[in-house]
Amino acid sequence: MTVETSQPAAQSGTFSIGGDLPVNRLGYGAMQITGEGIWGEPRDRAEAARVLRRAVELGVTFIDTADSYGPFVSEQIIREALHPYADDVVIATKGGLTRSGPGDWRPVGRPEYLRQQAELSLRHLGLERIDLYQLHRIDPKVPLEESLGELGLLQQEGKIRHIGLSEVSVAQIEQARKVVDVVSVQNLYNLANRQSEEVLDYAEREGLGFIPWFPIATGQLAAPGGPLDAASKEHGATPAQLALAWLLRRSPVMLPIPGTSRVAHLEENLAAGALELTDEEYETLTKAAG
């Protein structure tokens, strides 16, 4: 049953990143407010700014971006739209992927590069300290201890509050935690793709935030007659909303960040924060996609 609320994202529950950064669990991923191929300017920059402002109005307090989105375009639009930031808004960004053109992503984890990118992100976002800075990818050419060691230095200098990882295994998380305190993990995960189940279970045991990217992929589950199709009719909700509701139900450390470049689509996504699945619906969807 859908609960009417003016701030549906606030209905999704809260999680405290690093134990001291409370956020509403249903957030916003700012990758899509750039041009095609996550490159250059968006088609409608004013609409991108409206999306961000509307997200905060609807209760979003966790916004995730990266220096490589644009590059820097996403961070710059976030600043234009939301700076000075509300006290409860947490901006997370990432560094460690370079861009040479649309759709091209290459890991670079050299310490001097990560420091440069963190400093640029501070400038582009208009921050003195980044609340959550994530290593976007581990660079196989650079020892992880060197990449994270530099982020640890930035943390000591007060430029980073917390450190997170992206697209990692449990073994890599454990290796990283020997170098710095890791508070979050961002891996591909959704109802139709649960290859990071072991990482999610580890994050839950250890109290790490788990940020699933590509959270509303539903595969064939939304096909006519499929389990999402049936539940959609029951709730008067979209398959995407149900996929987000399933994620929120799946684990208390789950922080879904659905992204979009349109206000109408944003409002549709965030309505999932006020949607509750019955035990039977949750089990049906879990088994169907298992």
What span, in angstroms and rounded, lies between the C-alpha atoms of 195 and 188?
8
Binning pLDDT at 50, 70 and 90, where does residue 234 land? Answer: confident
Binning pLDDT at 50, 70 and 90, where does residue 224 land? Answer: confident
Q: What is the mean pLDDT of residues 110-120?
A: 98
**Res 5: pLDDT:** 58
Q: Are strands 28-29 and 62-64 parallel, antiparallel or unpaired?
A: parallel
- pLDDT, tens digit, 9 for 90 and up, residues 183-196: 999 999 999 899 99
Domain span including residue 135: 9-217+252-260
Rounded to two decimals, what is the model's pTM? 0.95
**Res 164: pLDDT:** 98
Q: Is residue 227, in this structure, part of any structural domain at all?
A: no
Q: What is the mean pLDDT of residues 54-83?
A: 98
What span, in angstroms and rounded, lies between the C-alpha atoms of 212 and 216?
9
Please name which of 37, 49, 115, 111 lies closest in space to residue 80, comparing C-alpha atoms: 49
In this structure, which amino acid lies at residue 208? L
Q: Is residue 244, in this structure, part of any structural domain at all?
A: no
Q: Is residue 63, in this structure, part of any structural domain at all?
A: yes
Q: Is residue 241, in this structure, part of any structural domain at all?
A: no
Q: Is residue 276, in this structure, part of any structural domain at all?
A: no
Q: Is residue 275, in this structure, part of any structural domain at all?
A: no
Q: Is residue 238, in this structure, part of any structural domain at all?
A: no
Residue 121: pLDDT over 50: yes
Tokens 């649960």 correspond to: 194
Express as a percent the part of the chain with pLDDT over 70.
98
Lowest mean pLDDT among 7-16, 213-222, 248-257: 213-222
Q: What is the mean pLDDT of residues 67-85?
A: 98
> What domain count does the chain have?
1
Where would I find the beta strands (DSSP E) of 88-205? 90-95, 97-98, 106-107, 130-135, 160-166, 182-188
Angle at 211 between CA 162 and CA 278, to 5 degrees: 135
Residue 181: pLDDT over 70: yes
Active site residues: 69
Residue 3: pLDDT over 60: no
Q: Is residue 234, in this structure, part of any structural domain at all?
A: no
CATH number, domain containing residue 110: 3.20.20.100
**Res 290: pLDDT:** 64
Helix (H) or strand (E) holding 21: strand 21-24
- pLDDT, tens digit, 9 for 90 and up, residues 239-282: 889 999 999 999 999 999 999 999 999 999 999 999 988 898 89
Determine the 3-state secondary structure of 9 from DSSP.
Answer: helix
